[in-house]
Homo-oligomer: A and B are copies of this chain.
Amino acid sequence: MLRPLSRAVFQYQSPPRIISYASIVGEKEGEGPLAACFDQIETDPHFGQKTWEQAESMMQRRTISLALDKSNLTENDLACVCAGDLMNQCIGSTYGLLPLRIPMLGIYGACSTMAEGILTASLLAESGVGEYTAAVTSSHFSTAERQFRFPLAYGGQRPPTAQWTCTASGAVILAQSDGVSHGVEVCGCCIGTMQDLGVTDANNMGAAMAPAAADTIVRYLQATGTQPSSFDAIITGDLGLIGSELLCDLVMKQGYDIAPVHHDCGAMMFDPKTQDTHAGGSGCGCSASVLCGYFLPKLENKTIRRILFTATGALMSPTASQQGESIPGIAHLVHLESR
């Protein structure tokens, strides 16, 4: 059962556990500061496929398969997978997971997908739908760039606030708490509420998403009666350099200083001085791969013990932007612990 703490904030009485995880990234991500963390760096941006979309699907399939392999499980052991991505109609997950024939709940949270997936998959695991569940997501620079911005060959100029969509994927396998003593516990969650402060610039996603991250983090801290210092890391998905600064300011206004423990996966992924990535990395796969490549191993070997993983999503579409709509953000949070 859940212990509801406040609206859409809950903790598990018997926390499900992340018993396996995997991360695969592209070449550029593999040249960044986190290169040593990822399971695989694929230098072929097509992942052996004909189109960018097929490449992203293949990346997602390889990532969840690797996470299964690491735990000596097969796709037939999973009761359900929660999956989604940025492509229209989430075709990365559809065609990526199709051959694996796993019961699937499709989710859409833009770049918050990994947190939403872990939240939903942990709820399913804890409810007893089956022994094992999974969450997976991905993003690919070339599928996102041409869908959300410009044709790749056009060579559009990028403003300094722009972020670089990561070619990356992350997957986790969760187990019911009974009978499993290893792995990282999913202790609690906070379901995000959309926030919209009126940002309309699709090249400044960090600013659009920071209020959602602030809202979710503050709601969780308040509901649990914890302080930022209670955690080894409070991690956001892909606010990037500009959004991260804004987040710390917004949270400080509500009385919490998260700056000493805040890390943003988008800001960590690239070296902005040498990699020409402006405000940092973005995309569903950014936070998913950094969680699975960098933070989960540290939790597993107990270098760190308690983190809040808060992936943020910008919920606009090109059509909405063309119609002058602002960009609503959402952030889902999962509280992970290694005891």
Contacts and interface: CB of A to CB of B under 8 A. Distances in A.
B328 A98 contact: yes
B126 A127 contact: yes
A191 B54 contact: no
A124 to B, nearest CB: 7
A1 B1 CA distance: 7
Interface in A114-164: 116, 119-120, 123-124, 126-130, 147
Given A89-B88, A98-B328, A126-B127, A80 B4 contact: no
A149 to B, nearest CB: 14
A104 interface: yes
Interface string A77-113: 0011000101111110011011001111111111000
A3 B330 CA distance: 33
A74 interface: no
A315 interface: yes
A316 B127 contact: no
B84 A323 contact: no
A102 B328 CA distance: 13
B91 A88 contact: no
Contacts of A109: 105-106
Q: Which range holds the interface residue count of chain A?
A: 35 or more
Nearest to A330: B104
A126 B128 CA distance: 12
A8 interface: yes
A84 B120 CA distance: 15
A320 interface: yes
A2 interface: yes
A319 interface: yes
Given A2-B127, A127-B127, A196 B88 contact: no
Nearest 10 pairs of A and B residues by beta carbon: A8-B103, A89-B317, A103-B191, A106-B108, A108-B108, A94-B315, A88-B88, A2-B128, A88-B317, A91-B317
Interface of A: 1-4, 7-8, 10, 50-51, 53-54, 79-80, 84, 86-91, 94-95, 97-98, 101-110, 116, 119-120, 123-124, 126-130, 147, 191-194, 196, 315-320, 323, 325, 328, 330, 332
Given A88-B319, A98-B196, A105-B109, 8 more contacts: A8-B129, A10-B128, A86-B89, A88-B88, A89-B110, A101-B193, A104-B193, A147-B319
